[in-house]
Amino acid sequence: MDEIEFSSTGSGWGPRSEVLAVGWGNSCETVRWLLPRGLLNSCPAGVASCPASSCPFPSPRSPRLTLLESVLLLGPRPTTGGMEFSELIRTGRAQAKLLRGPEAPPLRGTLCVTGHHLLLSPGPQGTSDLWLLLLRSVDSIEKRVSGDSGTITLRCKDLRVLQLDIEGVEATLDIARSIEALSSLESVITSFPFFYRPKGLRLGDAWHFHPPERYYKRVARETNAWRLSEVNEDFSLCLSYPRAVIVPRAVDDDALARCARFRQGGRFPVLSYHHAPSGTVLLRSSQPLTGPQKRRCAEDEELLRAVLAGARPGAPGFILDTRSAQAAKQARVTGGGTEAKAAYPGWKRLHRPLERGRPLQESFVRLVEACGDLEQSMDGWLSQLEACHWLAHVKEALSTACLAARGVEREEACVLVHGAEGTDSTLLVTSLAQLILDPLSRTMTGFQELVEREWIQAGHPFQLRCAHSAFSHACPKHEAPTFLLFLDCVWQLGRQFPLSLEFGEGLLLALFEHAYASPFGTFLCSSEKERCLCEVRTRTHSLWSGLNQPKVRRKLRNPLYVPNPLAIWPSVEPQSLRLWQGLFLRWIRPPEPSQVAWEKVWQRLASKEKTEGCEPTSKPQL
């Protein structure tokens, strides 16, 4: 491997611009490039393989290389504790063979470790493409040596299992240690999204697609009982809420501030969805801080009275608690609790316990273990599938969402959903209920807005929940696949109503992958305040801008989509729920015939539309 140094402030250029940055030089004005043979015609652009034509670096004839362009694959010079990325890379390259699974041929070539990626460059006789893995996607790493070589097994957050056979014992151990160090960096601002600059996208694109004001305009066209409040503009009331929230018009900001002090984490009741046909609403919050003294808050009681007053006359209210009655009662000991019946006239409390936290994470781990055991008998497989309880979690989530949706549409009631913190199972229920009720949420754009509004802006702590997937050896602390459970439930809806969702399985798989490891900034951090402090919206690209590029969007569409103005009520009977094979088994066995047929349907429709010279229609002729 040749090492050539370029000055980031000079006007001269070396051999080619399609090169990979591995570490900073000794001065902040010099960038050290490592140019392994075979990589000069390839450059990563955030995808698995990319030809030189998609290289995001400037032309070789460019007069200068800017500092920002030079760190495409790097964090800023100091990484963690003042240490540079180059100090974490013990061995920059080695000869290796990559095994990617039963369906993919092995790759041989030069393995390179950079600040954010693991790369394999095929030899001179290989293809011109570069294999690329974002190091953040590594969930666990195992290494073993034998003789004068070694093997590294990488288990990824997207459930892939990769094997690297590396020449040299020392190189194997050094590369393993480098991957362990670089894949576990906790600093947000040194992560790859802050340096990802894909061709064709501009910073700031799509971040403005789904602000709270957008949904409020829709609500305002349907009713004048609600207003957009910026009481949380500086995040002083609630760290996990966005700057603007939709609240009853009759409640002023001073009352909201007192409500926030009465709810855990400051998450006072806010509008989640307005159902125009019934004139009722779906709300979300956290638990009230009644405590053992059974405290009350007049402003909180006033807020929920205003909710009922703003709905149709005589509308009832339901408080859907995602904890068991016993768990809610025990929460009083630590300062939490429930809404007292006497304090909230017109509201009836229902308990529908949903698992979250460690039990949900352990269920996910056991399911992945069962799917990876290819030598078990039929009885053993069925026994393990039942023992992991994953489909039981899917059933309970859909059942609870149906209960909330039924209350809004059929009972014409206002429904408030909360658990303890209001950032996990609460969001699961409110988002699924909207998919059931709202036809717009089932469109491509509407679903993206739903995820942005009900998960990202609503304060689901992605940075904590998705820190590890199913393979990590670390004892789970804050990890929980709540968002994955949501995606699984959406997949179940799509399978039962194949014409009613404009998007297909591909979008759900993409969201799963990007939630755990992504070159985009959309799922970074755990709240809007953290994203603001890290300047995520101004310094990283939005995932929506990538997914909404015409070629990508066409592939994510459901070719059989027909708009359905009605609610879709899923069956939660055991016979109706299926294991999501497209996710849990996609790296283990080839696609099912139905998946192949689905792909051919899309290809035919896309080919037809291309021939006719038009964009894909949202309502294809069936």
For residue range 377-406, list pLDDT tens digits in order.
898 889 888 999 999 999 999 999 999 999
Q: Are 280 and 412 in contact (CB under 8 A)?
A: yes
Asked whether residue 615 carries a pLDDT value surpassing 90, the answer given is no
Q: State the DSSP H helix or E strand holding residue 218, giving kind and residue range, or none if neither.
A: helix 212-222
496 and 576 in contact (C-beta within 8 Å)?
Answer: yes
By the 8 A CB rule, do 441 and 434 touch? yes
Classify residue 349 by burial, with Cβ atoms within 10 Å: 0-12, 13-18, 19+. Answer: middle
pLDDT at 375: 82
The CA distance from 482 to 423, in Å, is: 10
Between 20 and 586, where is the model more confident?
Answer: 586
Inform me whether the pLDDT recorded for 95 exceeds 50.
Answer: yes
Mean pLDDT of the chain: 82
**Interatomic CA distance for residues 302 and 551, integer angstroms:** 50
DSSP 237: S
Strands (E), 148-259: 149-156, 161-167, 226-229, 245-248
Task: Kindly tell me if the per-residue pLDDT of 9 is higher than 90.
Answer: no
Tell me the two tokens of residue 613. Answer: 């010279």
Looking at the chain, the whole-number percentage of residues with pLDDT higher than 90 is 61
Tens digit of each residue's pLDDT (9 = 90 or more) over 566-586 = 999 999 998 999 999 999 998
Q: Under a CB-based contact definition with an 8 Å cutoff, are residues 241 and 232 in contact?
A: yes
d(Cα 195, Cα 214) in Å, to the nearest integer? 29
Average pLDDT score over residue span 282-287: 97
Could you give the count of Cα atoms lying within 13 Å of 211 in the half-sphere of its Cβ? 10
Distance separating alpha carbons of residues 442 and 435, to the nearest angstrom: 6
pLDDT at 120 over 80: yes
Domains detected in the chain:
85-185 (2.30.29.30), 212-587 (no CATH)
Closest CA to 227 of 235, 237, 217: 217
Percent of the chain residues past pLDDT 70, beyond the cut: 80
Res. 201: pLDDT tops 70: yes
Confidence of residue 482 (pLDDT cuts 50, 70, 90): very high
pLDDT in tens, 301-323: 999 999 999 998 889 999 999 99
Q: What is the pLDDT of residue 205?
A: 74
Cα separation, 155 vs 71, whole angstroms: 27
Tens-place pLDDT, residues 255-272: 999 999 999 999 999 999
Task: Return the higher-pLDDT residue of 618 and 137.
Answer: 137
Task: Pick 603 or 549 by higher pLDDT.
Answer: 549
Confirm if 40 and 16 have CB atoms less than 8 A apart: yes
CB 75 within 8 A of CB 191: yes
pLDDT value for 399: 97
What's the pTM value of the predicted model, to 2 decimals? 0.84
- Cα–Cα distance measured from residue 340 to residue 354, given in angstroms and rounded to the nearest whole number: 21
The predicted structure's pLDDT at residue 14: 29
Q: Which residue has the higher pLDDT, 85 or 305?
A: 305
- CA dist 327 and 351 (Å) reads 10
pLDDT for position 131 = 86
pLDDT attached to residue 534:
93
Mean pLDDT of the region 450-477: 91
Confidence of residue 598 (pLDDT cuts 50, 70, 90): low
pLDDT of residue 228: 96
The pLDDT of residue 206 is 67
Query: What integer pLDDT is reported at residue 42 of this predicted model?
Result: 31
Task: Say if residue 65's pLDDT is above 80.
Answer: no
* DSSP codes, 285-299: ---B--TTTT---HH
Do β-strands 270-275 and 245-248 pair in parallel, antiparallel, or remain unpaired?
unpaired
CB 453 within 8 A of CB 215: yes
pLDDT band at 208; cut points 50, 70, 90: low
Q: What CA–CA distance (Å, rounded) separates 351 from 340?
A: 14
Question: How many residues are there in the chain?
Answer: 622
Asked if residue 275 has pLDDT above 60, the reply is yes
- Residue 474 confidence (pLDDT): 78
Supply φ then ψ for residue 138, to 5 degrees: -80, 125
Encoded tokens for 548: 């909404």
Between 27-31, 199-203, 329-333, 612-616, the lowest mean confidence (pLDDT) is in 27-31
* 71 or 432, greater pLDDT: 432
The residue among 360 and 122 whose pLDDT is bigger is 360
Mean pLDDT, range 17-26, rounded to an integer: 31
Q: What is the mean pLDDT of residues 64-74?
A: 31
CB atoms within 10 A of CB 174: 18
Residue 38 pLDDT grade (very low, low, confident, very high; cuts 50, 70, 90): very low
- The first and second tokens of residue 230, run together, are 């910026």
Q: What is the pLDDT of residues 492-543, one digit of tens each?
A: 999 999 999 999 999 999 999 999 999 999 999 999 999 999 999 999 999 9
CA-closest candidate to residue 490, choices 548, 541, 441: 441
For tokens 């956290």, the residue is 286
